[in-house]
Amino acid sequence: MKRDKNHVYIFDTSLRDGEQSPGNSMNTEEKLLLARQLEKLGVDIIEAGFPIASEGDFDAVRQIAREIRKSQVAGLARANKQDIDRAWQAIKGAAHPRIHTFISSSDIHLKYQLKKSRVQVLREAAAAVKLAKSYTPNVEFSPMDATRSDRNYLAEMVSAVIDAGAVTVNIPDTVGYAVPDEFGSLIAFLFDRVKNMGDTVISVHCHNDLGLAVANSLAAIRAGARQVECTINGIGERAGNTAMEEIVMALATRRDLFGLTTQIKTDQIYKTSRLLTQITGIPVQPNKAIVGANAFAHESGIHQDGLIKEKITYEIMTPQSVGISDSHIVLGKHSGRAAISQHLKKMGYILNEDQLNRVAAKVKDLADVKKDIYDEDMEAILYEEIYRGEEKYNLIYLNVVSGNVAIPTATMEMQVGKEVIRDAGFGNGPVDATFAAIRNITKTNYPLLKYAVNAITGGADAQGETMVQLKYNGNSVIGRGAHPDVIVASAKAYINALNRLEFLKDNAKKVKLELS
């Protein structure tokens, strides 16, 4: 079938480039959950991970490949046999598998990192594509650090990998060095210079070190690129990658200018962003384009006046178009199981009997202390009760005494593996005492880097959403918790961070990835 030249492929790398950045590590269950939502969102390609990196990565990629049927599933591999074989083993069960192989093309990387000549690297790039091609026709190649490479050598490499069978060639701005005009002209140069380009899809993969990832990707699209590699909320190495929601909404909102389409269901954008936040505990900044809390909030009187008269005065896209509905009351004390089930279906969640019973019980508990329950509350319940995998540490009960005359004291019972342990902690306030109790029970003492509380929805009875960041081995983990009682929410966040830390320790087995 002939490719639609006006279609921009959306290649989501949240589970690979995104996941490898600090604080964003996910366990297999969480990766699956996000992959399912990415498919619902309509991304063309899900880069599920780097299978050679660890057993955990391999297993997650394999499970995603087996389950996802509509989106293509890509596995990353350096340009060598071991990586490519491993990537293929992980993705071969996919309905539409893709091998994404890469090697650096800049002299800086060749000299200092690979310690190889241009000729040798060119040969390895073509050989890697040929090997990948023996497994699947769907092969993508990336010349890493392309934007700091000699243009003629880059063109030679692009041409060589196309000859070897690459159907997509991705041009990465690995260190976020390019600026839009320059990057657009690099893409135009490649179209002009590479004579065997044919039907090859030129892709771009921009990092945001100078805050230009989205602008660079758009400039590349104008020059003919038809695949954009991006991540939800822009997560990724250092300053992150091109934000999916921004690139997609730029193309949709300025269709008059670009004349291009994606197959993204934009009304799933906000939900996907929220899911990632729930999983990683990393919130988006309030003024973040498209998905930030203030992205559609108009404060200035002049703007509000205009909006009341006619929305188009100050609104270039609607919150509904990205799936942000006015937070409406969805359920309350008297909502039955059927109403809960029906509402969850409307939100896109289909639960089995047991899951529905558990969620319904939690909704009832919450409704006892909170009058109105919103979509955001439901999402917090769903994530905490259903989607979190089996964990080492669990809260059983917490009792806190505090005030201006008592020494704040927390008494707590927790499940630690198969054991139930009870202990107490003292502190200068109820949160401090709670954290001390957790440390005593778990016999851990990781430095606390950050603690924050937010209200999920408005009102004094809103659920508190808390975030705890713990330091571990020069790294950090973030945990989150939600509960109408902020002290309980804080305990949950601390415990969640400890559980994530356990996962990180398991993952420490990850091989040190050196470019060979």
Site residues for Zn ion per CB under 5 A: 17
Segment contacting ligand KIV by CB under 6 A, of 82-90, 167-175, 209-217, 485-493: 167-175
CA–CA dist 437, 494 (Å, integer): 11
What is the nearest approach in angstroms of Zn ion to the Cβ of residue 24?
13
Q: Binding of ligand KIV at residue 503 (CB under 6 A)?
A: no
Do 273 and 323 form a contact (C-beta atoms < 8 A)? no
Which is it for strands 139-144 and 168-173: parallel, antiparallel or unpaired?
parallel
The smaller minimum CB distance to ligand KIV, of residues 172 and 484, is found at 172
Residue nearest to Zn ion (CB): 17
Q: Binding of ligand KIV at residue 19 (CB under 6 A)?
A: no
The smaller minimum CB distance to Zn ion, of residues 157 and 322, is found at 157
What is the nearest approach in angstroms of Zn ion to the Cβ of residue 391?
30
Determine the straight-line distance between the first and last CA of the chain, rounded to whole angstroms. Answer: 38
Select from Zn ion, ligand KIV, none the partner in contact with residue 142, using the beta carbon and a kind-dependent cut-off of 5 to 8 Å: ligand KIV
Place of tokens 């190495």: 237
- Inter-CA distances, 283 with 45, 192, 233, 453, Å: 25, 42, 9, 11
What is the nearest approach in angstroms of Zn ion to the Cβ of residue 207?
6
Do 148 and 180 form a contact (C-beta atoms < 8 A)? no
Contact positions with ligand KIV (CB under 6 A) in 182-241: 205, 207
Q: Which of 18, 49, 172, 184 binds ligand KIV (CB under 6 A)?
A: 172
Q: Give CA 506 to chain center in angstroms.
A: 21
For 475, the 3-state DSSP assignment is strand
Q: Binding of ligand KIV at residue 160 (CB under 6 A)?
A: no
Q: Binding of ligand KIV at residue 161 (CB under 6 A)?
A: no
The smaller minimum CB distance to ligand KIV, of residues 81 and 422, is found at 81
Q: Which residues of 176-212 are buried (b: 16+ CB within 10 A; e: fewer)?
A: bbbebeebbebbbebeeebeebeebbbbbbbbbbbeb
Q: Token pair for residue 479? A: 């945990």
Binding track over 99-138 against ligand KIV, x by CB under 6 A: ---x------------------------------------
Q: Which of 94, 110, 144, 436 binds ligand KIV (CB under 6 A)?
A: 144
CA–CA dist 483, 490 (Å, integer): 9
User: Which one, of 385, 355, 387, lies nearest residue 280 by Cα?
Assistant: 387
The smaller minimum CB distance to ligand KIV, of residues 105 and 476, is found at 105
Q: Binding of ligand KIV at residue 174 (CB under 6 A)?
A: yes
Select from Zn ion, ligand KIV, none the partner in contact with residue 109, using the beta carbon and a kind-dependent cut-off of 5 to 8 Å: none
CA–CA dist 30, 478 (Å, integer): 14
Segment contacting ligand KIV by CB under 6 A, of 83-91, 170-178, 303-311, 492-500: 170-178
Q: Token pair for residue 392? A: 């080492």
What is the nearest approach in angstroms of ligand KIV to the Cβ of residue 104?
8
What is the nearest approach in angstroms of Zn ion to the Cβ of residue 59?
22
What is the nearest approach in angstroms of Zn ion to the Cβ of residue 217?
13
Do 295 and 507 form a contact (C-beta atoms < 8 A)? no
CA–CA dist 268, 348 (Å, integer): 10
The smaller minimum CB distance to Zn ion, of residues 17 and 124, is found at 17
User: Which one, of 417, 400, 431, lies nearest residue 498 by Cα?
Assistant: 417
Select from Zn ion, ligand KIV, none the partner in contact with residue 425, using the beta carbon and a kind-dependent cut-off of 5 to 8 Å: none
Q: Binding of ligand KIV at residue 17 (CB under 6 A)?
A: yes
In the complex, which residues of this chain contact ligand KIV (CB under 6 A)? 17, 102, 142, 144, 170, 172, 174, 205, 207
